[in-house]
Structure 1
């Protein structure tokens, strides 16, 4: 499932100014990206929706995971409903779980409701667990 994890293009990095002395990050190899991606996915699978006994990754609440060459991580996610009672807590739970992966830089979690979540986003494993077949 590491195909869901992408590197951030170097073009998105801010232009270097004369005051900046740090060398640009070395691009991640495909093997490094796979390893990091698998660790991030494992961390995401430790976070559960409080109303549904399935982890947020299998529920399809994670829309995008970007890993920059400096190992900063940006996650776009949603909730099962905009009025979810844990809307304020869930991004913090996700950030804390992913920050537990060794060697990562900053972790940013963005909440989006576009597109809205639907049960079709759930994995087959999640549907089986919830008897939706």
Structure 2
């Protein structure tokens, strides 16, 4: 009996160098720092290309920290380690946040722990995806 390879093979997460992205530049001293809601709006402007919902409402943003100098650190995940945009999404997120007035340098880190689950989605995402 001949064994066939599985139809869908597991793809490991991308290398560590693809799991972080940086954008922006230091904010000039004395300039006002961006409000959290402005940064959240920027995060909501980024969509997973395979799912018609933004990454914030999907629950892909695990943590967002705004430093006193306007620098922003974001920790995020994706819906699956084999996601085809794993290497691109952190860069897209970093640039979206860096465009917000009052933001300095932005660092986005991609993590797989804890794994994403649908329970992290907002009610808006659940309605959009008909997941009630």
Question: What's the C-alpha RMSD, in Å, of the aligned pairs?
Answer: 1.6
Q: Distance in 2 between matches of 1:67 and 1:91?
A: 17
* TM-score under structure 2 length normalisation: 0.74
2:56 matched residue in structure 1: 57
**Higher helix residue share:** 1
1:82 matched residue in structure 2: 81
* TM-score under structure 1 length normalisation: 0.74
Shift of 1:130: 0.5
Structure 1 stretches (4+) deviating beyond 6 angstroms? none
Q: Which has the higher contact order (CA 8 A, sep 6+)?
A: 2
Deviations, residues 35-75 of structure 1 (Å, cap 9, x unaligned): 61000000000000111000000000000000010111000
Q: Distance in 2 between matches of 1:75 and 1:132?
A: 27
